[in-house]
Amino acid sequence: MLPPRRRILLGTLAATLALSVIYLQIRSPKEQQLQLLETLSGEADLHIQNSKITQFGANGRIKYLLISSEIFNFEESGLTLLKTPELTLYQPNGPPWKMQAEIGEIREQKKNNNYTELIILNKDVEIERYHPNGDYLTMKSEQLRLYPEDNYAETDQDVSISSHIGETTAAGLQGEIQVGALSLFSSSTKRVHSIFLPQNIK
């Protein structure tokens, strides 16, 4: 039998470990990723502060401009983590999309039997596009998955959309953002809800 003092120490250690596990389980994925940035910063193969990345498309034109306060790249996994990313996604026709978030990542994703670049923006994601004639569209969500080469975006998180014609909320969206062909989704707790400005109702 263990001495009383040793039993107390072991019991305290077990309780501490249990509380730590519970704490990690109840933290949100966004909080976990923020902690991951701090934890892995010393293990990254490449760490750049105040970075600016210009990515070109297959046609030789600038596809996007990415500014981030910190970038952590892990060569073995091919993962790149971003802190406070600001992304400008240029379009063949019309003004660019501008996006920002607290954290993000870049990875290679298999899509239609090919590997393509995937940018994931997390926490306080804001997206906007303004046209010279005054038309605009802005979106807010907690996550956005973006395939720059395909101009395709998706999220399964709540999203709110504002534009020159009204406002819409939904449980998620997907579609080609170049032409604004977005499909909105409902969930068991949140329906697609739109409010149109009076001047746009005919």
Q: Tens of pLDDT along 131-176? A: 999 999 999 999 999 999 888 999 999 999 999 999 999 999 999 8
Pairing of strands 62-74, 79-83: antiparallel
Q: What is the pTM of this model?
A: 0.76
Band the pLDDT of 78: cuts 50, 70, 90. confident
Q: What is the pLDDT of residue 162?
A: 94
Residues 6-25 have a mean pLDDT of 39
Cβ atoms < 10 Å from Cβ of 125: 24
CATH for 41-200 is 2.60.450.10
At 171, list the tokens.
């449980």
Q: Label residue 119 exposed, middle or buried (CB < 10 Å: 0-12, 13-18, 19+).
A: buried
Distance, CA of 93 to CA of 174 (rounded, Å): 20
